[in-house]
């Protein structure tokens, strides 16, 4: 593929000395520049990346993957790149597939191309597939339904980079889900490209999956709830109010029939009604406030 556009490959890394060199060498064949964001590595990741021909930005301390992605977007804007390709430095993605993931952007069919790991070209373990599917469904509530919402192998055109550079707020691995939510909010076109991935003989996970997965899921739920408060806070609040009313009616009926006041039911009714009312009120405020703030900025 002819490189008419100015393309930057961004590789966020943390202790990837064993694999980052080969990823950089492959990526350099398909882009104008490779940027490695060394996120506080304690090994020789930065040196090996530089020796392989990458531009390296170093963080003194580990700040999370999202910080590296935001750094790459700012760099791309500053140096006027047309496309940014993000790829993991642990070797699970094949950098020789960069031309493949660029096709939807080069042909102007999409603003954001996302790799999806599926079929015989993936070595993803079963437990990873289950965790990925859970996050796919959670992300799909607040964004367009994507086959693989957590794949870090992506390509962004200039419009997508500019829309996301100042709006990404997370710091960890939830950045992939947050990008999809922002893409939907900003009307960005999304294409999916089947890519391969390699897990065998890789010690690529820097996080305990049993703590990492739930932490990402918690952030995704909050991210979506923040943007759809009526659904995630208001509806459960109404449910609590209904339960509280049921408990209250049962308490009154029981007292009228047996002259016996059910204190536990009365307390339960009060608790459900108070919490439910607060949830509904909070959802209304969270739904209205962004519109008020936006109108005040416009005026």
- Write out pLDDT tens, residues 50-98: 999 999 999 999 998 889 999 999 999 999 999 999 999 998 899 999 9
Question: What is the per-residue pLDDT for 224?
Answer: 67
pLDDT-based confidence at residue 111 (cuts at 50, 70, 90): very high
Which pLDDT score is estimated for 156?
A: 98
For the record, the structure tokens of 207 come out as: 């996080």
Provide the 3-class DSSP secondary structure of residue 137: helix
- Residues 170/219, Cβ–Cβ less than 8 Å: yes
- pLDDT the model gives residue 20: 96
- Range 199-211 average pLDDT: 52
Pair of tokens at residue 170 = 């997370």
pTM: 0.70
Q: What residues contact residue 98 under an 8 Å CB cut-off, 6+ apart? A: 9, 27, 30, 31, 85, 87, 155
CA nearest to 191, candidates 199, 202, 183, 201: 183
How far is residue 231's CA from residue 224's CA, in Å, rounded to a whole number? 10
Residue 15, helix vs strand vs coil: coil
pLDDT for the residue numbered 218: 63
Residue 198: the pLDDT is 78
Instruction: Taking each helix axis as running N to C, give the angle between helix 175-185 and helix 209-227, from 0 to 180 degrees, rounded to the nearest 10.
Output: 20
The token pair at 276 is 């439910």
* Residues 235, 88: Cα–Cα separation, whole Å: 39
d(CA 156, CA 194): 16
Q: How far apart are CA 39 and CA 114, in angstroms?
A: 23
Q: What does the angle CA 209 – CA 66 – CA 98 come to, to the nearest 5 degrees?
A: 90
Eight-state DSSP code of residue 19: T
pLDDT greater than 70 at residue 189: yes
Sign, CA torsion 232/233/236/238: negative
Pairing relation of β-strands 7-13 and 112-122?
unpaired
Which tokens is 76 given? Answer: 């791309």
Token pair of 49 as six digits: 């990346």
User: 144-179 pLDDT, tens per residue?
Assistant: 677 777 888 999 999 999 999 988 887 666 788 889
- Residue whose C-alpha is closest to residue 46's, from 1, 16, 22: 16
Place of tokens 């820097």: 206
Going across the sheet that includes 33-39, the strands are: 55-59, 33-39, 7-13, 83-86, 154-157, 112-122, 190-197
């Amino acid at each position: 593929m002819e490189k008419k556009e100015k393309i930057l490959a961004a590789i966020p890394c943390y202790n990837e000395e064993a694999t980052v060199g080969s990823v950089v060498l492959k990526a350099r064949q398909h882009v104008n520049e490779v940027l490695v964001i060394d996120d506080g590595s304690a090994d020789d990741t930065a040196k090996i990346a530089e020796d392989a021909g990458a531009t390296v930005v170093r963080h003194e301390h580990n700040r999370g993957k999202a910080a590296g992605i935001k750094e790459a977007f700012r760099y791309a804007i500053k140096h006027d790149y047309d496309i940014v390709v993000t790829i993991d430095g642990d070797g699970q993605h094949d950098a020789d597939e960069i031309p493949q993931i660029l096709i939807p952007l080069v042909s102007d069919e999409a603003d954001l191309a996302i790799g999806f790991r599926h079929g015989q070209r993936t070595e993803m373990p079963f437990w990873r597939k289950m965790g990925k599917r859970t996050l796919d469904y959670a992300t799909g509530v607040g964004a367009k339904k994507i086959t693989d919402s957590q794949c870090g192998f992506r390509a962004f055109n200039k419009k997508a980079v500019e829309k996301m550079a100042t709006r990404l707020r997370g710091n960890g691995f939830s950045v992939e889900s947050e990008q999809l939510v922002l893409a939907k909010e900003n009307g960005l076109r999304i294409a999916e490209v089947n890519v391969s991935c390699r897990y065998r003989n890789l010690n690529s996970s820097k996080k305990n999956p049993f703590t990492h997965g739930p932490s990402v899921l918690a952030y995704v739920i909050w991210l979506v709830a923040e943007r759809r408060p009526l659904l995630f806070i208001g509806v459960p609040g109404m449910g609590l109010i209904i339960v509280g009313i049921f408990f209250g009616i049962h308490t009154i009926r029981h007292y009228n029939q047996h002259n016996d006041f059910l204190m536990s039911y009365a307390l339960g009714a009060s608790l459900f009604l108070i919490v439910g009312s607060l949830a509904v009120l909070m959802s209304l405020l969270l739904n209205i406030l962004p519109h008020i703030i936006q109108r005040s900025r416009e005026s």
